[in-house]
């Protein structure tokens, strides 16, 4: 179980809280989607979802035929596979690859949302991830979107449940 998600397989409460603001039937990109918890949640709300992950297991997501498209791609080792496609929401949880950050912001369509949540500096006190390459620096998400997206909500906090962790979260919208 992840330190951010409340239950195995369940969507992140942060993504649920802000995901309801995504344009009905809009296109959602779930980056490094893992088991597809957010793909399934958005598809269940009527969104068209593209889940991207390097693990070919995502092709077996139960909802693939119900509004979920999957793309198996190594987004760290190869070129960005989506070109200049834009989405009504770009969702990222428990994943950080700094060379992609600007690309992810650029993938947010006008009126769309960046919903991002991952581990932050200080998490090394609680275990993994502890490598600074995988921990956001204080205010890093704010700096990422400054002048490009309007920040609606931001947190850089220590959480206690379901286990202690340092996390950074942002919900930001392209006007």
Q: What is the pTM of this model?
A: 0.92
The per-residue pLDDT for range 152-168, each reduced to its tens digit, is 999 999 998 778 999 99
**In the structure encoding, which two tokens stand for residue 42, read together?**
């958005």
26 vs 3 pLDDT, higher one = 26
Q: Where are the domains of the chain?
A: 13-147
d(CA 143, CA 68): 31
What is the structure's pLDDT at 137?
A: 97
The per-residue pLDDT for range 7-23, each reduced to its tens digit, is 446 899 999 999 999 99
Per-residue pLDDT band for 62 (boundaries 50, 70, 90) equals low
Q: C-alpha 46: how far from its chain's center?
A: 18
Q: Is 52 helix (H, G, I), strand (E, B) or coil?
A: strand
Residue 5 has pLDDT above 60, yes or no: no
Residue 117 has pLDDT above 80, yes or no: yes
d(CA 37, CA 16): 11
Q: How many CB atoms lie within 10 A of CB 48?
A: 15
The per-residue pLDDT for range 66-95, each reduced to its tens digit, is 789 999 999 999 899 999 999 999 999 999
Q: Rounded mean pLDDT of 113-118? A: 98
CATH 3.40.50.300 for the 13-147 domain, yes or no: no
What is the structure's pLDDT at 75?
A: 95
Which residues touch 79 (CB under 8 Å, ≥6 apart)? none
d(CA 83, CA 1): 33
What is the structure's pLDDT at 60?
A: 72
What is the structure's pLDDT at 64?
A: 56
Rounded to the nearest integer, the mean pLDDT of the chain is 91
């Amino acid at each position: 179980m992840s330190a951010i998600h409340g239950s195995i397989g369940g969507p992140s409460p942060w993504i649920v809280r802000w995901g309801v603001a995504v344009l009905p039937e809009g296109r959602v990109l779930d980056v490094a989607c893992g088991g597809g918890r957010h793909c399934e949640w958005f598809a269940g709300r009527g969104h068209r979802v593209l889940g991207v992950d390097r693990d070919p297991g995502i092709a077996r997501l139960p909802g693939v035929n119900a509004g979920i498209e999957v793309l198996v791609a190594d987004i760290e080792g190869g070129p960005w596979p989506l070109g200049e496609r834009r989405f009504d929401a770009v969702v990222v949880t428990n994943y950080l690859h700094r060379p992609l950050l600007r690309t992810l912001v650029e993938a947010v369509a006008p009126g769309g949302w960046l919903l991002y949540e991952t581990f932050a500096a200080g998490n090394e006190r609680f275990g993994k991830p502890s490598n600074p390459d995988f921990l956001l620096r204080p205010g890093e998400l704010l700096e990422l979107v400054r002048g490009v997206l309007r920040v609606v909500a931001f947190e850089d906090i220590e959480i206690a449940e379901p286990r202690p962790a340092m996390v950074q979260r942002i919900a930001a919208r392209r006007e």
